[in-house]
A and B are shown apart, each in its own frame.
Chain A
Amino acid sequence: MQQNGISTERKTFILVGVLFLNLILISTNVVLENRKSLLQNILGSLASPFQIGFQKTVDFFSYELQHYVFLKNAYERYARMKDKQYQLKLENYYLRRQIENQAFLNKAKKLSKNFIEADVVSVDRNFPLNSVIIDKGSRNGVKSEMIVLNTDSELVGKIVEPITPFTAKVRLITSSVGGVGAYLSKNKLEGLLTGDNSSICIFKYLIENKPVLIGDQIVTSGTDEIFPPFIPIGKVVHIEKEYLIQNVYVKPDFLGKSIKKLLIINGPNHFINE
């Protein structure tokens, strides 16, 4: 019998031959379980460029489609962001209203426009709580009497001489030299905060009968015309009553936190009188 020009015997022979070749291939693969056969290598070499080409083409088109055609998601994101922007605008409006109601903060806003970031490069060896040297100097616009805060916006000290082009000295509020006009944030009782090169400052000249509690927050008053008002200084840790006055001991907030990075307020300090 003959079909398509090939006899049945020949067909059977071809079929069996091809199947046999496949069986040999299978057995080769099974025996050499962890090694690639020659044919596998050839097939791999033939197919791999197509696979890589295909993958790269698909990646290219996916990228192009995602970035230039499928803008549906982008629109949804845009809409979400618009909503968010509206909410933020609203929130911003209310916050502005709150701030505007407080004149002192409104003035403080002028101060906070510019900050100079500085890193502490050395600490006074003998009196570590007296002063530190920072890596910003006159070249960076640092001037004497500028206010220095830590990264949590708590009062650290002020800039004092010597100021070199590349460095400046910061006198800490714990220094025995100078003082800070301050009051209790809860009842605005005013006094003078001075240090003695230790970790505790003394809040002086507070009338004896005025109520002060341990844990009360002390903030700058601004009346010294050096430090702007309402900058957190520290908390009351001890109270000693004397005749007519009471000495309140305050632990500065910046102690116990890193002062590696500091912020210098780059602006006029005498804004109270503006």
Chain B
Amino acid sequence: MNRKSRFSLLIVMIVLQFFINRYITVMKLNIDLLFLVLIYVSVKSTFLKSILTATTIGLFTDFFSGNVLGVFGFSRTLAAFIIHESSAYLDLRKKTFLFLLISLSLAFSNLVANLFFSFIQNYEISLEFILYPPLITGILGVLMTGPRAMKRYLDVY
């Protein structure tokens, strides 16, 4: 897969994320497409690239969520580190593992962010935030990498 195609897919996902942030106000349905990008980069790229991408994505997530800047930067960086380190030991051709990787890492990342929010702004630990978006994002990630053409496109056999 050439770089142009991947870049165009990235743009599409960013635009879709804009759309989700703007129009989907139900937290349960808040799919995190940028996290899928983060996972892809973390699995496929070098350590430094994945960490920097994660921080950038996290900071933009912070900005779009309108909350304390740095919280998602922190949590996404941590998640990217875990994904990068653990992906070497996982067989991501199996959909179950892929689903678990996406869901658990996003759940972990959201939990860290939620803990920060609870410390800083006395937010409650919210299942809607920790549980549902990771599950939906996980399902979407599996669906996206399901078709053979898409696998070839993303270069993930």
Contacts and interface: CB of A to CB of B under 8 A. Distances in A.
A11 B120 contact: no
Interface string A166-193: 0000000000000000000000000000
Contact of A14 (B47, B68, B78): B47
Interface residues on B, range: 20 to 34
A53 to B, nearest CB: 9
A23 B55 CA distance: 12
Interface string A31-42: 000000101100
A30 B120 CA distance: 7
Contact of A18 (B69, B77, B120): B77
Contact of A22 (B18, B46, B70): B70
Given A19-B74, A58-B19, A39 B69 contact: yes
Contacts of A11: 47
A20 to B, nearest CB: 9
B63 A4 contact: no
Contacts of B36: none
Which secondary structure dominates chain A's binding surface? helix
A44 B15 CA distance: 17
B73 interface: yes
B130 interface: no
| Interface size class, chain A | 20 to 34
B51 A14 contact: yes
A50 B14 CA distance: 10
Interface residue SS majority, chain B: helix
A47 B22 CA distance: 14
Interface in A1-38: 3-6, 11, 14-15, 18-19, 21-26, 28-30, 37
A26 B51 contact: no
A89 to B, nearest CB: 43
A22 B22 contact: no
A51 interface: yes
A63 interface: no
Nearest to B67: A29
Nearest to A4: B46
A192 B62 CA distance: 87
Interface centre among B22, B73, B78 (most CB of A within 10 A): B73
A55 interface: yes
A22 B55 contact: yes
Interface in A116-175: none
B69 A37 contact: yes
Interface of A: 3-6, 11, 14-15, 18-19, 21-26, 28-30, 37, 39-40, 43-44, 47, 50-51, 54-55, 58
Given A6-B48, A25-B70, A47-B63, 4 more contacts: A22-B74, A43-B60, A50-B18, A51-B18
18 contacts: A14-B48, A15-B51, A19-B78, A22-B77, A23-B70, A23-B74, A24-B70, A26-B68, A26-B120, A29-B68, A29-B69, A37-B69, A43-B63, A47-B64, A50-B18, A54-B15, A54-B22, A58-B19
